Structure 1
Amino acid sequence: MSSMSAYWWLLLPLIILPIMWLRQKRESSLRQSLATAKFLAAASPHMVQVWRWQAWLLLILRCLLLLIAIAYLASIFMRWRGDTVLIASGSDSAWVEQQINASKMQDAKRMSFCANISCDIQSTQILYWLEQHQSWWKESARLLVLGDANQIRLNAQSPQLAQALEVKVRPPSNANKQEKTKPADHYIALHSDRAAAWQHMFTAFAAAGRADHNYVWQQAPDAQTELVIWDSTQAVPQNWKTNSKAHLWWLSSSAGIVNDQATEEKHPGLQSLADGKTFIKQFKTAESRYWLMQSGSDWPISLNDRQNAKKLFEAWQVMSLKVQDYPATSFTLPASKNAIPLQQQENTRDVLLVLLLCIFALERILTHVGRR
């Protein structure tokens, strides 16, 4: 119910009305004669209110009825926000002020967005969020989005907004450019008597594949480990299983980690390696994938076997492929007259309407039964 206006909640004190109505002293029309009353001393009659479960239930239903009615009214409020500047958390303040002054939006309301609850908007997809919540703003409002290239993600399609949108992305600094050119670190936990041969194979990866990878070799896996290589006839110890967060394991057939819970998967990249005397079967569990080295495989691949090294490297890259971010660039979108505000995914308005009708029906039924 994030689209509710705060002003409608000022009607919450109306919930006191059902409580006051049921607390009023009402004289019951039911009279019962007691045969022993003539033996009692005369006394003036007085009223005593007795709360029954029907009264409590009726009170709860009427309070819920008012509460849901207020929530429903708040979910269909009129557009009320004006010009707004949406700023990515952690943006350079001097650059932000410069862009706001250039757009002549000094008097506009400012809102921050990030993934944490400390920001006004909890979202990393600000353009998609704006498209979903465009009913918050007047059609005449202007929207200005400011942030770095990695903080503003592009959607598959340009957002369709009823308001004019301007996105300004801060150009990367020299330090950021140098950081992007830095080779990516890949942490690999290795247990083998042929450690030098394995390292030579990854050198072949750099020659046959991409040379911008920096391989960090570990004696034991930890939270940073991406790949675990267990080239031993012994079983994998328990601490390797618990400490490793790797999504891919290279194992010998006697490692003892692939059990009945793992399902075999076909991988085209691995099947093409059979021609080079490298036989690998892939298994999958809920946590990780395992490449099981079959007996007779020529492991590790020699440094001169660049053809099979390239095939194995490409298969590994497919397994460890990460989601690619497509950072946005500065652009401007005029207001779209054909934009249709999309409904909230949680369908809050429909749920509230159904609850309102159900509780109203229960309240009427209970009131009618109580009168009888």
Structure 2
Amino acid sequence: MISSALALWWLALPVLLLPIWWHRQKRQRVKSEPLATARFLPAAPPQTARIWRWEDLILLALRCLLLAALIAWLAATTMPWRGDTVFISPALAARADARAPAWIKQQIATAGLSAAPQIPLPPDALQWLQANESEWRPGARMLVLAESIPMPSQLPPLAHAVDIRLLPAATSTASAPRTQRSVVVAAPVERLAAWRAMFAAFEAADGSRYLIEDKPSSETELIVWDSQAAPPPGWHAPLWWLPPSARPAALGATDAASPPLAINGLQLQIASSPQGRLWTSAAMPPQTADAARALYETWQSLAQPVQPYPMPAMQLAPRRNSPLAMPNTPPAAWLAYLLLALFALERLMTHVRRR
């Protein structure tokens, strides 16, 4: 991976015109022999002429190749050229409210980096910094401004100081809107109250509002089928809950006979069907608070996607004396050997030409 700034070395290719110009300026005097009668002739200045020999052409080609190889080596070699830098998250810069620009300006001024260049924060910020920090000079500071950064499993050891600052959440006296989750419950009247009581407890646990409906829709997350009859074939949901009295085979379960699993103290049998994932347990509907809590925790851990843990604002001190070698960097060692070989040939041809 060659940095775009390092690739600017290719703009130095016009330097190849210097050897050509130098060789064209070479002159060799015409050899002359004094004659005895030359004193009777008027004096004339000596004449010069361009003489191109095969040694000159080879030497010119070697010098042009030497300069071209030197430019290629500079373009392929990572050298620290960046100084203090401010990284701004694209999501933070794209916010429509006026609070974000004012906060960004304040943090940059507080850090004393008003004159530092600002570049967008790439994805996987810490991993990207570790892989590319060889472009920064020793002692350079980095300021990271973002709304949220996922917490990595392990902080990478960086060779530069990194100050991570996150936009504080807006304080508001108004209560945040409650998340609405759609659930379909099909149960007899004598057990419907127990199911409703369970979802009311779930509302108190996570603050969401569970909308219990009679028919599924595209927003339905869960179908509770507490009935011995077969469900309508058009009903689909990511997850189904079935008490033992229900018939998993009626939904076309492919592995209904799989052994039960013990999760959070809950005996649970999981099967697949064309209409969704099936959970069957004797604890449905739960009769105690512990059983309801076990069912809720199992649902959140297995059915809901894992959310990344946000990284808190912190200052990362340097933990290395030098940056890591850049991954996926093409080796430039062969260019160094080529430079050495061309330099030796150029010196040899220069010596031959002087003979």
**TM-score exceeds 0.5:** yes
Contact 2:150 2:309 in 1 (8 A): yes
Contact 2:87 2:142 in 1 (8 A): yes
1:78 and 2:66 are equivalent in the alignment: no
Contact 2:9 2:75 in 1 (8 A): no
Q: Which amino acid aligns with 1:89?
A: P
User: Structure 1's 318 and 328: CA in aligned 2 closer, same or farther, altered over 3 A?
Assistant: closer
Q: Which amino acid aligns with 1:318?
A: S
Cα deviation, residue 85, structure 1: 0.7
1:317 and 2:300 are equivalent in the alignment: yes
The correspondence for 1:282, drawn from 266, 270, 284, is 270
1:256 and 2:250 are equivalent in the alignment: yes
2-structure distance, mates of 1:309, 1:133: 50
Aligned match of 2:131:
132
2-structure distance, mates of 1:84, 1:106: 10
Q: Where does 1:156-195 land on structure 2 (aligned, <5 Å)?
A: 156-175=153-172, 178-179=175-176, 183-194=178-189, 195=192
1:334 and 2:331 are equivalent in the alignment: no
Aligned match of 1:57:
none
Aligned match of 1:301:
286
1-structure distance, mates of 2:262, 2:271: 14
2-structure distance, mates of 1:71, 1:319: 54
Q: What is the SS of the residue equivalent to 2:159? A: coil
1-structure distance, mates of 2:295, 2:175: 30
User: Structure 1's 342 and 172: CA in aligned 2 closer, same or farther, altered over 3 A?
Assistant: farther
Contact 1:229 1:249 in 2 (8 A): yes
Aligned match of 2:54:
none
Q: What is the SS of the residue equivalent to 2:128? A: helix
Aligned match of 2:344:
none
2-structure distance, mates of 1:307, 1:161: 46
Contact 2:253 2:271 in 1 (8 A): no
Aligned match of 1:102:
110
Q: Which amino acid aligns with 1:259?
A: A
2-structure distance, mates of 1:287, 1:74: 58
User: Structure 1's 168 and 133: CA in aligned 2 closer, same or farther, altered over 3 A?
Assistant: same
Contact 2:88 2:118 in 1 (8 A): yes
Larger radius of gyration: 2
Measured on the aligned residues, the alpha-carbon RMSD in Å equals: 4.1
Which digits, 9 at most, give the CA deviation of each residue in 1:163-193, with x for residues without a partner? 22111222222139953xx655433233344
- TM-score under structure 1 length normalisation: 0.58
- TM-score under structure 2 length normalisation: 0.60
User: Structure 1's 223 and 135: CA in aligned 2 closer, same or farther, altered over 3 A?
Assistant: farther
Cα deviation, residue 99, structure 1: 0.8
Q: What is the SS of the residue equivalent to 2:139? A: coil
1-structure distance, mates of 2:173, 2:138: 38
Where does the alignment leave 5 or more consecutive residues of structure 1 unmatched? 15-69, 114-120, 275-279, 354-372
User: Structure 1's 211 and 259: CA in aligned 2 closer, same or farther, altered over 3 A?
Assistant: closer
Cα deviation, residue 282, structure 1: 1.6
1-structure distance, mates of 2:168, 2:319: 28
Contact 1:234 1:255 in 2 (8 A): no
Contact 2:10 2:72 in 1 (8 A): no
Q: What is the SS of the residue equivalent to 2:258? A: strand
Contact 2:80 2:134 in 1 (8 A): yes
1-structure distance, mates of 2:231, 2:77: 59
1-structure distance, mates of 2:286, 2:217: 26
**Aligned residues, how many?**
266
Contact 1:82 1:141 in 2 (8 A): yes
User: Structure 1's 130 and 176: CA in aligned 2 closer, same or farther, altered over 3 A?
Assistant: farther
Q: Which amino acid aligns with 1:99?
A: Q
Cα deviation, residue 87, structure 1: 0.9
Cα deviation, residue 331, structure 1: 2.4
Aligned match of 1:203:
200
Q: What is the SS of the residue equivalent to 2:172? A: helix
> Which stretch shifts more, 182-191 or 152-161?
182-191
Contact 1:127 1:153 in 2 (8 A): no
1-structure distance, mates of 2:263, 2:109: 54
Aligned match of 1:349:
330
Which digits, 9 at most, give the CA deviation of each residue in 1:316-354, with x for residues without a partner? 23323543443333322333343542643xx3637x99x
